[in-house]
Amino acid sequence: MRNAIRPSGATTVGPYSPAVEAGGFVYLSGQTPIDPATGKLVTGGVAEQTRQCLRNSFNILKAAALTGDDVVKVTVYLVDLSHFPAMNEVYASEFSEPYPARTTVGVRELPLGASVEIEMVARRG
């Protein structure tokens, strides 16, 4: 059985849930750097876009009564892998050791022209 998690302010650009809980895990859909107050991509470089992706993700985790400490796996999608250091600096400031497992993937493009998208898996208990 799966249960959708739909926090207030979370936006989607298609027919999917921001997160789904199944078997003690919460699977977050990829979060783009959309400011929920405006519905638009945040301005600035990849660092600010990474911050917004993480804010959006942590908002979903909060709605599921979880925190960044419950995250076990992260996948980061970057349009330009030369932005890895800037993304990584912001990422490191938002998580603590032991860090979640992570994969970073270079992609050709992302929805709405975003430079970064981040998805997560969290575990209860």
- Report the pLDDT value the prediction gives residue 6, as an integer from 0 to 100: 72
Count the neighbouring beta carbons within 10 Å of the beta carbon of residue 19: 26
Averaged pLDDT for residues 94-100 = 95
- Report the pLDDT value the prediction gives residue 70, as an integer from 0 to 100: 98
Residues 6+ apart with CB under 8 A from 19: 4, 5, 26, 27, 28, 29, 60, 63, 64
Mean pLDDT of the chain: 92
CATH of the domain at 114: 3.30.1330.40
Which residue range forms the structural domain that includes residue 12? 3-123
Total domains, the chain = 1
Q: What's the rounded Cα separation, in Å, for the pair 110 and 61?
A: 23
- Report the pLDDT value the prediction gives residue 125, as an integer from 0 to 100: 81
Confidence bin at 60 (pLDDT 50/70/90): very high
Averaged pLDDT for residues 17-22 = 90
pLDDT at 19 over 70: yes
72-96 pLDDT tens trace = 999 999 999 999 999 999 999 999 9
Enter the DSSP assignment of 42: P
- Report the pLDDT value the prediction gives residue 13, as an integer from 0 to 100: 65
pTM attached to this predicted model: 0.92
Enter the DSSP assignment of 64: T
